[in-house]
Amino acid sequence: MKLTEKFGLASDRFQSFADSYHGLAGEAGSVQVANCASCHGVHDIKPSNDSTSRIHPKNLVRTCGTCHPGANENFTKGSVHVIATSGQDELLYVVATGYIVLIVITIGGMFFHNLLDFIKKSKRQLMLRRGLIKHHQVGQRLYLRMSLSERTQHGLLLVSFTTLVLTGFALKFPDAWWVAPIRDISPVMFELRGILHRVAGVVMVVASLYHVYYIFFVPRGKQLLRDMLPERSDVSEVVGMLKYNLGISTNKPAFGRFSYIEKAEYWALIWGTIVMAATGFVLWFDNTFIGLLTKLGWDVARTIHYYEAWLATLAIIVWHFYFVIFNPDTYPLNLAFWKGTLTEEEMLEEHPRELDQLRQQELAEMKSEAGLDEEKVAKEVLKGKQQG
């Protein structure tokens, strides 16, 4: 603070550096990342309006080029010391603020929805335990929910996403209680973090590309895509569930294979993967894309990547984890991702419309087989008569 006052510098200069990749990487243990002296010099520090200063506009390309080979004029287009939420740059401010509003509304809405669901289901489970209502009398059949291929895709997504979250936030929050002990083991840990983050990103992209192949070229995948498409009934199901959970209605909507809950998560995942992969690619190959998009364009990608990571992480925790872990009807864990099946009772509770369709399909097949058997017998009798 005293130095900024003495030399008339903006008070947020150090904070903006600390929030940049250079500052975070240095704090996380990198021994190669640029520091203040890399740009400003040591014994030759001069103001930016001095033509001999390293940070004079005419000299920035050369200064940046010491660490970024091939730096061009685009490297100088955009503020070096900028905090996205400060309003110093209008575009960055709009992107950051827009994401913050989106996160608050989206995650807040998810939390409210799930809180109502939790209260309603908890009351029902309590009544079941007290014998005030009875369990549905169902068979012991198991129904396929996720094939081996789908479980493999889910497993790759689970591992890569978790790795990306941990290694990504480890860079952004190097002093966090769960990061510092690992960071302090060795300077090598910073490089390892970066490698793991990129490997996990590649795994997620490859798994996503396979999923694209699966839903367009594999019969079961094609059906999955058809069942995931939004329908008008999804809107009425949302309204119906809110009425049911609020006690306004006693009728719970009968969901098919995928309810609005799974559909919302699926399409959000598709969108989030595209955004994170695209911006992550820009951040990975920084020299190339700063040269193409300018420093400001790269900062926009970095801001989107950061806030989209928060949105995705909170959505998984609040939305997905609730329905597969903390949901009173499935607690402590829905094992469909591991076993691939649901019990008849689970199907009746969560996917009654799909269960009814499967039963009707089985009945039709049985009738068809019985009809074929009767036709075969009739033919044999007729054949016998003709021979006699």
Q: What is the pLDDT of residues 179-194, one digit of tens each?
A: 999 988 888 999 999 9
Residue 300 placed within a domain: yes
Mean confidence (pLDDT) of the chain = 91
pLDDT of residue 291: 94
Q: Is pLDDT larger for residue 369 or for residue 116?
A: 116
Lowest-confidence pick of 26-30, 281-285, 309-313, 335-339:
26-30
CA distances from 309 to 92, 129, 167, 237, 328 (A): 17, 40, 12, 29, 28
Buried b (16+ CB within 10 A) or exposed e, 116-154: bbeebbeeeeeeeeeeeeeeeeeeeeebebbeeebbebb
For residue 142, the SS3 value is strand
What CATH number does the domain containing 214 carry?
1.20.950.20
Lowest-confidence pick of 21-30, 132-141, 317-326, 335-344:
132-141
Residue 202 placed within a domain: yes
Residue 126 placed within a domain: yes
62, 100: one domain: no
268, 377: one domain: no
209, 298: one domain: yes
What secondary structure letter does DSSP report for 136?
-
Residue 373 placed within a domain: yes
Q: Is pLDDT larger for residue 9 or for residue 237?
A: 237
pLDDT of residue 47: 86
pLDDT of residue 9: 59
* Assigned token pair, 58: 């005419």
Q: Is pLDDT larger for residue 371 or for residue 199?
A: 199
CB 234 within 8 A of CB 263: yes
69, 124: one domain: no
Last residue of a domain, one of 50, 81, 112: 81
269, 321: one domain: yes
Confidence of residue 199 (pLDDT cuts 50, 70, 90): very high
Residue 388 placed within a domain: no
Instruction: State yes or no: pLDDT of 10 exceeds 70.
Output: no
113, 240: one domain: yes
Range of the domain at 373: 356-383
Residue 333 placed within a domain: yes
Beta strands (DSSP E) in 51-200 are 142-144
Instruction: State yes or no: pLDDT of 338 exceeds 80.
Output: yes
Buried b (16+ CB within 10 A) or exposed e, 61-92: eebbeeebeebbebbbebebebbbeeeebeeb
Instruction: State yes or no: pLDDT of 385 exceeds 80.
Output: no
pLDDT of residue 86: 87
346, 332: one domain: yes
Nearest by Cα to 294 from 94, 84, 96, 80: 80
What is the number of domains present in the chain? 3
116, 48: one domain: no
21, 144: one domain: no
CA distances from 101 to 43, 96, 326 (A): 45, 9, 26
67, 200: one domain: no
Residue 7 placed within a domain: yes
206, 261: one domain: yes
Residue 155 placed within a domain: yes
pLDDT of residue 2: 59
pLDDT of residue 11: 65
Instruction: State yes or no: pLDDT of 132 exceeds 90.
Output: no
pLDDT of residue 26: 87
Reported pTM = 0.90
The whole-number average pLDDT for the span 74-83 is: 88
84-96 confidence digits (pLDDT tens): 888 889 999 999 9
pLDDT of residue 257: 97
Residues of the chain above pLDDT 70, percent: 93
346, 256: one domain: yes
pLDDT of residue 377: 57
